[in-house]
Protein backbone atom coordinates (compact mmCIF):
# COMPACT_ATOMS: atom_id res chain seq x y z
CA UNK A 1 0.00 0.00 0.00
CA UNK A 2 2.72 2.46 0.98
CA UNK A 3 4.81 1.70 -2.11
CA UNK A 4 1.81 2.17 -4.36
CA UNK A 5 1.02 5.54 -2.78
CA UNK A 6 4.62 6.65 -3.13
CA UNK A 7 4.50 6.05 -6.87
CA UNK A 8 1.15 7.77 -7.33
CA UNK A 9 1.50 11.17 -8.98
CA UNK A 10 -1.93 12.16 -7.74
CA UNK A 11 -1.02 11.39 -4.14
CA UNK A 12 2.25 13.34 -4.44
CA UNK A 13 0.37 16.31 -5.85
CA UNK A 14 -2.06 16.20 -2.93
CA UNK A 15 0.87 16.32 -0.49
CA UNK A 16 2.36 19.42 -2.12
CA UNK A 17 -1.05 21.09 -2.11
CA UNK A 18 -1.38 20.47 1.63
CA UNK A 19 1.96 22.12 2.30
CA UNK A 20 0.96 25.27 0.40
CA UNK A 21 -1.29 26.27 3.29
CA UNK A 22 1.24 26.07 6.12
CA UNK A 23 4.27 28.19 6.94
CA UNK A 24 7.17 27.89 9.31
CA UNK A 25 10.66 29.09 10.05
CA UNK A 26 13.72 27.12 8.95
CA UNK A 27 16.84 27.46 11.07
CA UNK A 28 20.09 25.90 9.77
CA UNK A 29 22.24 24.76 12.68
CA UNK A 30 26.01 25.22 12.74
CA UNK A 31 27.65 23.77 9.63
CA UNK A 32 24.52 23.73 7.46
CA UNK A 33 24.76 25.77 4.26
CA UNK A 34 21.88 28.32 4.26
CA UNK A 35 21.83 28.66 0.46
CA UNK A 36 21.66 24.91 -0.09
CA UNK A 37 19.07 24.61 2.65
CA UNK A 38 16.89 27.26 0.96
CA UNK A 39 17.05 25.41 -2.35
CA UNK A 40 16.25 22.06 -0.74
CA UNK A 41 13.33 23.47 1.25
CA UNK A 42 11.91 25.00 -1.93
CA UNK A 43 12.10 21.56 -3.55
CA UNK A 44 10.32 19.92 -0.63
CA UNK A 45 7.57 22.53 -0.59
CA UNK A 46 7.22 22.34 -4.36
CA UNK A 47 7.47 26.06 -4.92
CA UNK A 48 9.32 29.24 -4.09
CA UNK A 49 12.29 29.46 -1.71
CA UNK A 50 11.89 30.73 1.85
CA UNK A 51 12.46 34.40 2.59
CA UNK A 52 15.65 35.36 4.44
CA UNK A 53 15.06 38.39 6.73
CA UNK A 54 17.79 40.99 7.09
CA UNK A 55 19.93 40.48 10.22
CA UNK A 56 18.77 43.80 11.70
CA UNK A 57 15.07 43.21 10.94
CA UNK A 58 12.65 43.32 13.87
CA UNK A 59 11.30 39.74 14.30
CA UNK A 60 7.89 40.90 15.49
CA UNK A 61 7.45 43.25 12.53
CA UNK A 62 8.50 40.53 10.08
CA UNK A 63 6.06 37.97 11.46
CA UNK A 64 3.26 40.51 11.82
CA UNK A 65 3.57 41.36 8.13
CA UNK A 66 3.12 37.68 7.24
CA UNK A 67 0.22 36.97 9.60
CA UNK A 68 -2.72 36.01 7.40
CA UNK A 69 -4.78 32.99 6.41
CA UNK A 70 -3.49 31.50 4.20
CA UNK A 71 0.04 32.57 5.17
CA UNK A 72 1.33 35.55 3.24
CA UNK A 73 4.60 35.65 1.32
CA UNK A 74 6.97 38.61 1.76
CA UNK A 75 7.55 38.95 -1.99
CA UNK A 76 6.47 37.31 -5.27
CA UNK A 77 9.86 35.59 -5.47
CA UNK A 78 9.49 33.87 -2.11
CA UNK A 79 7.11 31.56 -0.34
CA UNK A 80 5.58 32.14 3.12
CA UNK A 81 8.37 30.27 4.91
CA UNK A 82 11.28 32.12 6.52
CA UNK A 83 14.94 31.16 6.54
CA UNK A 84 16.50 32.38 9.76
CA UNK A 85 20.30 32.68 9.63
CA UNK A 86 20.94 34.81 12.72
CA UNK A 87 21.12 33.50 16.28
CA UNK A 88 17.51 33.37 17.56
CA UNK A 89 18.50 34.64 20.99
CA UNK A 90 20.26 37.73 19.60
CA UNK A 91 18.51 41.11 19.84
CA UNK A 92 17.24 42.67 16.62
CA UNK A 93 15.61 45.90 15.58
CA UNK A 94 15.12 49.15 17.52
CA UNK A 95 13.26 47.40 20.32
CA UNK A 96 15.87 44.71 20.86
CA UNK A 97 13.45 41.85 20.20
CA UNK A 98 14.65 38.31 19.63
CA UNK A 99 13.35 35.57 17.36
CA UNK A 100 12.61 33.15 20.19
CA UNK A 101 10.06 35.55 21.68
CA UNK A 102 8.58 36.43 18.29
CA UNK A 103 8.16 32.80 17.20
CA UNK A 104 6.43 31.99 20.48
CA UNK A 105 4.15 35.02 20.25
CA UNK A 106 3.06 34.26 16.67
CA UNK A 107 3.13 30.48 17.19
CA UNK A 108 5.17 30.06 14.03
CA UNK A 109 6.54 26.48 13.92
CA UNK A 110 10.30 25.93 13.80
CA UNK A 111 12.17 23.45 11.61
CA UNK A 112 15.81 22.78 12.53
CA UNK A 113 18.28 21.72 9.83
CA UNK A 114 21.32 19.79 11.06
CA UNK A 115 24.56 19.26 9.17
CA UNK A 116 26.07 15.74 9.23
CA UNK A 117 29.06 16.61 11.38
CA UNK A 118 30.27 15.45 14.81
CA UNK A 119 28.32 17.02 17.64
CA UNK A 120 25.21 17.88 15.65
CA UNK A 121 23.04 15.77 17.94
CA UNK A 122 23.86 17.86 21.03
CA UNK A 123 23.28 21.08 19.13
CA UNK A 124 19.90 19.87 17.84
CA UNK A 125 18.85 18.77 21.31
CA UNK A 126 19.87 22.13 22.79
CA UNK A 127 17.87 24.16 20.26
CA UNK A 128 14.95 21.77 20.47
CA UNK A 129 14.87 22.11 24.25
CA UNK A 130 15.11 25.90 23.96
CA UNK A 131 12.16 25.97 21.58
CA UNK A 132 10.02 23.81 23.83
CA UNK A 133 10.88 25.78 26.94
CA UNK A 134 9.96 28.99 25.14
CA UNK A 135 6.62 27.69 23.91
CA UNK A 136 7.67 27.59 20.25
CA UNK A 137 5.96 24.88 18.14
CA UNK A 138 8.72 22.50 17.04
CA UNK A 139 8.16 20.85 13.69
CA UNK A 140 11.27 18.77 14.14
CA UNK A 141 14.72 18.20 12.72
CA UNK A 142 15.84 17.39 9.18
CA UNK A 143 19.34 16.59 8.04
CA UNK A 144 21.35 18.26 5.31
CA UNK A 145 22.84 14.95 4.33
CA UNK A 146 22.81 11.70 6.26
CA UNK A 147 24.03 11.56 9.88
CA UNK A 148 27.79 11.01 10.11
CA UNK A 149 27.49 8.00 12.42
CA UNK A 150 25.83 5.05 10.62
CA UNK A 151 25.05 3.36 13.94
CA UNK A 152 23.07 6.39 15.17
CA UNK A 153 19.35 6.25 14.44
CA UNK A 154 18.02 9.81 14.94
CA UNK A 155 14.39 8.69 14.73
CA UNK A 156 14.97 6.62 17.89
CA UNK A 157 17.89 8.23 19.72
CA UNK A 158 17.67 11.97 19.03
CA UNK A 159 14.74 12.60 21.38
CA UNK A 160 13.22 15.07 18.92
CA UNK A 161 10.87 14.62 15.95
CA UNK A 162 13.19 13.44 13.15
CA UNK A 163 11.64 14.00 9.73
CA UNK A 164 14.43 12.72 7.47
CA UNK A 165 17.01 14.29 5.15
CA UNK A 166 16.63 17.12 2.69
CA UNK A 167 17.09 16.22 -0.97
CA UNK A 168 20.56 16.79 -2.36
CA UNK A 169 22.15 16.43 -5.79
CA UNK A 170 23.51 12.93 -6.12
CA UNK A 171 21.94 11.87 -2.85
CA UNK A 172 19.78 9.13 -4.39
CA UNK A 173 20.84 6.37 -6.80
CA UNK A 174 17.92 6.92 -9.19
CA UNK A 175 15.35 9.60 -9.95
CA UNK A 176 12.60 7.28 -8.77
CA UNK A 177 14.25 6.74 -5.40
CA UNK A 178 14.75 10.49 -5.03
CA UNK A 179 11.07 11.14 -5.74
CA UNK A 180 10.02 8.56 -3.17
CA UNK A 181 12.36 10.05 -0.57
CA UNK A 182 10.98 13.48 -1.36
CA UNK A 183 7.41 12.27 -1.03
CA UNK A 184 8.20 10.66 2.31
CA UNK A 185 9.75 13.85 3.70
CA UNK A 186 6.75 15.90 2.58
CA UNK A 187 4.37 13.53 4.29
CA UNK A 188 6.42 13.58 7.49
CA UNK A 189 6.45 17.36 7.47
CA UNK A 190 2.69 17.55 6.95
CA UNK A 191 1.94 14.90 9.55
CA UNK A 192 4.09 16.64 12.15
CA UNK A 193 2.34 19.98 11.46
CA UNK A 194 -1.00 18.26 11.84
CA UNK A 195 0.00 16.92 15.26
CA UNK A 196 0.96 20.43 16.36
CA UNK A 197 -2.41 21.67 15.17
CA UNK A 198 -4.29 18.89 16.95
CA UNK A 199 -2.51 19.75 20.22
CA UNK A 200 -3.26 23.47 19.68
CA UNK A 201 0.39 24.45 19.35
CA UNK A 202 -0.26 26.08 15.97
CA UNK A 203 -3.41 27.82 14.82
CA UNK A 204 -5.75 27.00 11.99
CA UNK A 205 -5.63 24.17 9.45
CA UNK A 206 -4.67 25.03 5.87
CA UNK A 207 -7.65 26.51 4.06
CA UNK A 208 -9.46 23.79 2.14
CA UNK A 209 -6.99 21.09 3.22
CA UNK A 210 -8.37 19.80 6.51
CA UNK A 211 -10.97 17.54 4.94
CA UNK A 212 -8.45 16.24 2.44
CA UNK A 213 -6.14 15.10 5.20
CA UNK A 214 -8.91 13.51 7.22
CA UNK A 215 -9.73 11.31 4.27
CA UNK A 216 -6.20 9.89 4.31
CA UNK A 217 -5.46 10.09 8.03
CA UNK A 218 -6.35 6.50 8.74
CA UNK A 219 -4.30 5.05 5.90
CA UNK A 220 -1.38 2.68 6.30
CA UNK A 221 1.08 5.49 5.58
CA UNK A 222 -0.34 7.77 8.28
CA UNK A 223 -0.08 5.03 10.88
CA UNK A 224 3.52 4.33 9.99
CA UNK A 225 4.55 7.95 10.48
CA UNK A 226 4.13 7.57 14.23
CA UNK A 227 7.35 5.58 14.35
CA UNK A 228 9.40 8.32 12.70
CA UNK A 229 7.91 11.69 13.50
CA UNK A 230 5.95 10.63 16.54
CA UNK A 231 8.10 12.18 19.25
CA UNK A 232 5.76 14.86 20.52
CA UNK A 233 6.13 17.77 22.83
pLDDT in tens, 182-206: 888 999 999 999 999 988 898 765 4
Torsion of CA 51, 120, 168, 71, to 10 degrees: -30
Q: Which of 110, 175, 174, 121 is nearest to 143 (CA)?
A: 121
Q: How far is CA 105 from CA 7, 98, 160, 226, in A?
A: 40, 11, 22, 28
pLDDT tens digits, one per residue of 2-41? 334 334 444 455 677 778 778 899 999 999 999 999 999 9
Cβ–Cβ < 8 Å for 170, 149: no
pTM of the shown model: 0.79
pLDDT tens digits, one per residue of 104-163? 999 999 999 998 888 889 999 999 999 999 999 999 999 987 765 666 788 788 899 999
Greatest distance between any 2 Cα atoms in the chain:
54
Give domain limits for the chain: 2-16+23-227
Split at pLDDT 50, 70, 90, the class of 70 is low
Pick the CATH number of 2-16+23-227 from 3.40.50, 1.10.357, 3.30.2000, 2.60.120: 3.40.50
Cβ–Cβ < 8 Å for 179, 167: no
Amino acid sequence: MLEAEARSRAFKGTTVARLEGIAGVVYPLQGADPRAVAQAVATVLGGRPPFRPEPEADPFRVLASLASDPPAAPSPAHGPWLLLTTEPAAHHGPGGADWWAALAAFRRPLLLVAAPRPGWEEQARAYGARARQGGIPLLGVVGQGKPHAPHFDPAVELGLPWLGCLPAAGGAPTAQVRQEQLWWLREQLWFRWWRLYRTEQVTGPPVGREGTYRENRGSTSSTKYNTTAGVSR
